[in-house]
Amino acid sequence: MDPQYWRAHLSLAQLRRQTPASHHVERLQSQLSQLGADIANSPALIGLNMALAKEYEDLADYPKAFEHLVRGKSAGANPDYSIRQDEVLFAAIADTFSAPRDLDLAAGCPTDEPIFIIGMPRSGTTLVERIISSHPDVHSAGELLNFGMSLKHVSGSRTPALVDTDTIIRARSVDWRQLGETYLSSTRPGTSHKPRFINKLLHNFLYAGFIAHALPNAKIICLRRDPMDTCLSNFRQLFAPKSPYFDYSFDLLDTGRYYVLFDRLMAHWRRIFPGRILEVQYETLVDTQESSSRQLLEFCDLPWHDACLHFEDNPAAVATASVVQVRAPITAVPSSAGRSTRRN
């Protein structure tokens, strides 16, 4: 109805797998050629190029797919972003928790309700969320920004960014119990009708040290996926354009650099809080669904429930890029690195 509603072109491309007999390549190329030299129209360049990348990939024309992917992501890049900003932030976080320490369980909020699922985007976090939230005692609250907002509030930081070095430095002296209670109360009433709830905001890995202190009985699960698959999947995905968390994903090299920062931070958390975070390998989960699911529930102190093996029947809404995959059972196929991954 409105050919200049550019995001719709990408949505149409993503609705199904395109075939040689049925695709939109000609229409998309025609729309793109009509733009001419109007490089200032970034929404059009993003939508059309990303749609063409998806369709050419479905049609197995991978060079053209990658060419349009690079063009589309470049058009959406934040000109004010530098990977150096993230390097400084990650360093400040690591400096805040610089040596192994014993958690003072009495200092934080004692609730055991929260389950945090963290990790790089496109690493299997939605799959794990669906497995655990299929348990009758668990509610999925989605990707809540509440912990970061609570930390920002309790720290007293007044900078505009939700997470930055000012916030991290000020938060070093927060009252842990106050932080935990502020977070828990901020999730009400949506999280109070079942014994446990999941917060699947992936970038809570930035706050893992603060979570460990403020909520000493909360469970933290981190998904790990093959680095090549993780980085390529991040680069292929058009995340929320206004989010402060995904600026790295518009450049493939920045995506790789960001993965290195994430990997180093997770190694840091393992050293500082040994045993506190359960790290789950996505490929292992795909290969050993039942034993991995049992490990997840055991870590969360939840009794076994057969519904967790049939996460595809979970009727709850999904608002992530994995919306299609989690409606189907696990099917293992080779990944780009030769390891098992899920069928898209």
In a domain, 99, yes or no: yes
Q: What is the pLDDT of residue 322?
A: 47
In a domain, 36, yes or no: yes
Ranked by mean pLDDT, the top range of 36-45, 123-132, 320-329 is 123-132
- One domain, residues 137 and 249: yes
In a domain, 1, yes or no: no
Q: Mean pLDDT, the chain, as a whole number? A: 90
Closest alpha carbon to 316 in 198, 222, 220: 198
Does 328 score more than 70 pLDDT? no
Domain boundary among 76, 109, 133: 76
- The mean per-residue pLDDT over the stretch 295-301 comes to 98
Q: What percent of the chain has pLDDT over 90?
A: 81
- The mean per-residue pLDDT over the stretch 109-126 comes to 96
Q: What is the pLDDT of residue 243?
A: 80
- One domain, residues 56 and 116: no
- One domain, residues 70 and 105: no
In a domain, 286, yes or no: yes
In a domain, 212, yes or no: yes
- One domain, residues 53 and 185: no
Domain count, the chain: 2
Tens digits of residue pLDDT in 164-198: 999 999 999 999 999 999 999 999 999 999 999 99
For residue 327, name the pLDDT band (cuts at 50, 70, 90): very low
Give the Cα separation of 248 and 234 in Å (integer).
Answer: 9
Does 340 score more than 70 pLDDT? no
pTM greater than 0.85 (yes/no): yes
Say which amino acid occupies 154.
V
- One domain, residues 214 and 260: yes
- One domain, residues 317 and 170: yes
Other CB atoms within 10 Å distance of the CB of residue 317? 8
Does 259 score more than 70 pLDDT? yes
Closest alpha carbon to 118 in 228, 205, 11: 205
Does 316 score more than 80 pLDDT? no
Q: Tell me, what CATH number does 250's domain have?
A: 3.40.50.300
In a domain, 241, yes or no: yes
What domain range is 46 assigned to? Answer: 6-76
- One domain, residues 51 and 164: no
Give the Cα separation of 119 and 279 in Å (integer).
Answer: 9
Domain boundary among 42, 76, 110: 76
- One domain, residues 70 and 103: no
Pairing of strands 138-140, 332-334: unpaired
Domain boundary among 38, 56, 76: 76
- One domain, residues 139 and 178: yes
- One domain, residues 88 and 169: yes
- One domain, residues 117 and 195: yes
With 0-12 / 13-18 / 19 or more C-beta atoms within 10 angstroms meaning exposed / middle / buried, residue 52 is: buried
For residue 105, name the pLDDT band (cuts at 50, 70, 90): confident
Q: What percent of the chain has pLDDT over 70?
A: 89
- One domain, residues 98 and 37: no
In a domain, 293, yes or no: yes
Tens digits of residue pLDDT in 129-166: 999 999 999 999 999 999 999 999 999 999 999 999 99
In a domain, 16, yes or no: yes
Other CB atoms within 10 Å distance of the CB of residue 235? 22
Q: What is the pLDDT of residue 334?
A: 55
Q: What is the pLDDT of residue 344?
A: 34
